[in-house]
Chain A
Amino acid sequence: MSARFDVVVVGAGPGGMAAAVVAAEAGREVCLLDDNLTPGGQIWRGFRTETAHKYPHGAGFLEWSARLQHTDCAVWQGWQAVASPAAGVLRLERGGEARTVRFDRLILATGARERFLPFPGWTLPGVMGAGGLQALVKGGLDARRKRVVLAGSGPLLLAVAAGLKGAGAQVMGIYEQAPAIRLAGFALSLLGQPGKLAEGLRYRSKSIKAPYRTGAWVVRAEGRGRVERVTLTDGRNEWSVACEWLGSGFHLVPNLELPQLLGCRVEGGYVAVDRLQQSSAAGVACVGELTGIGGLEKAVIEGQIAGWAAAGLESRAKALGSQLEEKKRFAGRLDRAFQLRPELRKLVKADTVVCRCEDVVHGELESCKGWREAKLHTRCGMGACQGRICGAATEFLYGWENASARPPVYPAAVSTMAVPQNSDA
């Protein structure tokens, strides 16, 4: 089937919801499409309208979901945008079913994923992303009495610790690779951000019973057939902690595949946008984590700016500019505070898998000159995830740039891709 809208929004997290809502409230025909089962993205994953008020960020979820339900916006859940056969057209897929959607304006709000770094044992079952573990628990994974170690970087570790404790897990320790001095500077910088500070403290107070150590990181995970023990270090001493699960994510990286496919210019790891969130690709706006990892508040402001711009209400969009500046400064401070320490490049051994899809090990990759050579010689990045996981890792480990995206940006059926561009199928 084929459908046409004034505005299509890809990604139903906070930024995408805000964009779709304001454009629809302004009378535009809007379609919000999203890969997940329900709207909310990652930060509002699994939130329900009856119980959301109990959770951090619940109020924002309730406001935006209520507004969304009052509009005529079409909400398509479970759909992946896999290709753009022509300007103003996206090809979508859901479980083997395909659709074409046409639009005048496109707003991308595809969010971010965790940055995963390889270390010996990171492929063992039971080693997951910190946010990944949180998402699985929200999907019904029973966390009661499970011993969990959280190691990596970023404010997400604390949020996950609080969530897991609430779900009955025993958090054995939270290990943040960034040194205390950097975080102290970051905490000071939050004094002008009461919302953020309160959020951080709320997480801290809930998870306070678990040791939170800065300047400490995972060295390896071990176990027979699954993780049983994690070894950590502070650079001087090493120690081991027994656990059933290790949640390990090193802050976030934006999901740039779709913007890159559509030709949006990327600068310094993020999509470059103007004051109305417009990218270098005509008619394509980008919001939220795509333009800088800054969290919920930045995404909601940018979503509204892009939504109003798409509806032709530029003055309303511009009025949010000063609020946005503050959130952008916060995003910059986040990136600096949680910068990765160079020691993390030394965790991989010659036989440590770097590309999980094709089982390509560090020993095969370290002699390659770049991403292209690695792909050709080792199949690194050529598997099912299309470099989504190993791309960020090889960028950090070897300094490789992986700046291209090709259709389909997700594995798709041949039938999805085979439709002629002018067809209505």
Chain B
Amino acid sequence: MIEDQEETWNLFREGGMRLTDDGFFITMNGKRVRVALGTSVAAAMMMSGEPCRFSVTGEARGPLCGMGICMECRATVDGVAHRRTCQMVCVQGMEVVTG
């Protein structure tokens, strides 16, 4: 729990956006995408132009609620399916697969 707290407070103190930062790379459907520190995975997905998923009838969908409720932004992150990408921050080397 201690580590948890530290992690939380560090994010809390320093978190948010540092647009001056050079950022780092993640992989989005096999493509390398540069993101700034603190970028949510859903935001990175939108900026790369990828829909998050295809609906049961095949419609392309993007994020809707931005706060972890609607499940529209779910995608596979580092091999784990159905992650709510709006509630996750990009980390270096992360692999995101949409659809």
Contact = CB atoms under 8 A, between A and B. Distances in A.
Interface in B1-20: 1, 4-5, 8-9, 11-17
- Range of interface residues on chain B? 35 or more
A389 B65 contact: yes
Given A132-B65, A139-B86, A140-B36, A38 B59 contact: no
B71 interface: yes
A146 to B, nearest CB: 10
A136 B4 CA distance: 24
B1 A3 contact: yes
Contacts of B68: 35-36
A78 B89 CA distance: 11
A383 interface: yes
A238 B39 CA distance: 38
A411 B70 contact: no
Contact of A388 (B1, B16, B61, B70): B70
A132 B67 contact: yes
A139 B40 contact: yes
Chain B CB within 10 Å — which of A129, A136, A140 has the most?
A140
Interface residues of A, number: 59
Contact of A141 (B16, B46, B71): B46
A48 B16 contact: yes
Nearest to B40: A139
Contact of A113 (B5, B16, B35, B65): B65
Contacts of A126: 62
A125 interface: yes
B8 A77 contact: yes
A206 to B, nearest CB: 20
B94 interface: no
A116 B61 CA distance: 15
Contacts of A116: 64-65, 70
Given A128-B62, A357-B71, A136 B13 contact: no
A385 interface: yes
Interface string A71-98: 0001111100000000000000001100
Contacts of A48: 12-16
Contact of A125 (B1, B60, B66): B60
Given A3-B1, A76-B4, A123-B55, A135 B60 contact: no
A136 B40 contact: yes
A136 B9 CA distance: 21
B80 A356 contact: no
Contact of B51 (A38, A125, A385): A125
Given A37-B11, A38-B8, A142 B47 contact: yes
Interface string B64-97: 1111111110100000101100111100000000
Contacts of A96: 80
B16 A359 contact: no
Nearest to A113: B69
A411 B61 CA distance: 19
A138 B57 CA distance: 31
Contacts of A141: 40, 42-43, 46-47
A138 B56 CA distance: 30
A74 B63 contact: no
Nearest to A389: B70
A384 B46 contact: no
Contacts of B70: 116, 132, 356, 385, 388-389
A255 interface: yes
B38 interface: yes
Nearest to A72: B5
Given A136-B66, A385-B69, A358 B56 contact: yes
Contact of A95 (B57, B72, B74, B80): B80
B35 A359 contact: no
A61 B85 CA distance: 25
Contact of A134 (B35, B47, B66): B66
27 contacts: A35-B68, A37-B89, A38-B11, A39-B12, A45-B67, A51-B16, A74-B1, A75-B9, A76-B4, A113-B69, A123-B59, A125-B46, A128-B64, A132-B64, A132-B67, A132-B70, A136-B42, A136-B43, A136-B66, A139-B40, A139-B66, A140-B35, A140-B44, A141-B43, A357-B71, A359-B56, A359-B57
Given A135-B66, A356-B61, A358-B56, 19 more contacts: A39-B8, A45-B67, A49-B12, A65-B12, A74-B1, A95-B83, A113-B65, A116-B64, A132-B67, A135-B65, A139-B38, A141-B40, A255-B69, A356-B70, A357-B71, A359-B55, A383-B71, A389-B70, A411-B82
Interface of B: 1, 4-5, 8-9, 11-17, 35-36, 38-40, 42-44, 46-47, 51, 55-57, 59-72, 74, 80, 82-83, 86-89
